[in-house]
Amino acid sequence: MLKVAYYKPMTVIKENEFVNFMDYTVFTKANNDTLLSDVLIYDRSQSRFPRTVFAKTGNVVQMDNGNSLQIILNNGEMHERNEREPGKYQKTTFDQYIINVRNLGAGADYFETGYRSDREMTFPQIVESRKAIINELATKRKEVSSLDQRISFNNLKPAGYTREVELRRLRSMKQIASDRITELSETLGSLEVEYHKKFALSFAIIIFILIGVPLGLMTRTSGIGMAFSFSSVIFLVYYVALNGGEQLADKGLMPAFAAMWLSNIIFFVLAIFLITASVKEKRLLDIPTLLWKVKHLRSRKTPPPDEIVH
């Protein structure tokens, strides 16, 4: 149901059937996929007495990547009882009334043929997504600031049921906006990581070449076994460092640039050191000489033969 709601939320509400969303029950006599007619809603989100809402028309909009739904009602009336004073009954008419249904399931595995994760995006797609998220973040932060002002203004009003209902509504709207800010911030962090990773991994090829050439010259041995062992160790260390940095960046514990480029910087310094050492004809590991010394432990003072050294 959540996957259907992600693409076409209007199709979730069936004609002449009661459909439950969290603390809401929705009923409609007609649904043509674009407009609901004769809508009835039982709202149990704010009080133990369900609030009954009637509307001539309405529609449902998907929000927050399918995690929230917004039910927009037009030309209706609301009936509710006072929770503190059960004997009181209130009827309110409206031209438009919006109900926000949030936390439907942010972890749902939505499928979409045209969808690409941050790792599958091209560079232009990442740039465009970053720009859109930054703009939406700015909008949501302004919205939270505005809601804070409205909440503060309502706190100054005389205590009463109407004020409490309005404060609950404003706090609910603020919570939705705050959740969206958190979600956007996490998404932006992942995009920043992928943004820098595309360049960092490309540059890593050059660094591995700079390391590999002097390493091969400085490791005096025949066969590919030792070269393969050294290459495997270097790659493993780089891989662990890169993924560790990515995890830290995704959790917001480390800047994306530092997380993706720190390994390259360290290995680049190592490459410069190895190149300098190879120019000076230093040896990193002389396997034949090492094996000869192991076999002749008793004659430690005897130098290795020239055919072994050279």
Q: Mean pLDDT, to the nearest integer, of 73-90?
A: 81
Residue 112, φ and ψ in degrees, nearest 5: -160, 125
- pLDDT at residue 122 above 60? yes
- pLDDT at residue 112 above 60? no
Strand-pair partners of 220: 286
Q: How confident is the model at residue 31 (pLDDT cuts 50, 70, 90)?
A: confident
Three-class SS state of 168: helix
pLDDT of residue 282: 64
Dist CA 259 CA 186 (whole Å): 16
Dist CA 262 CA 202 (whole Å): 14
Is 71 buried (19+), middle (13-18) or exposed (0-12) by CB count in 10 A? buried
Dist CA 105 CA 84 (whole Å): 32
Model pLDDT for residues 139-179, shown as the tens digit of each residue: 989 989 998 998 888 888 888 888 888 888 888 888 888 88
Joined tokens for residue 85: 């004073």
Spacing of C-alpha 210 from chain mean position = 35
Joined tokens for residue 115: 């969808």
pLDDT of residue 54: 92
Looking at the chain, how many residues does it have? 310
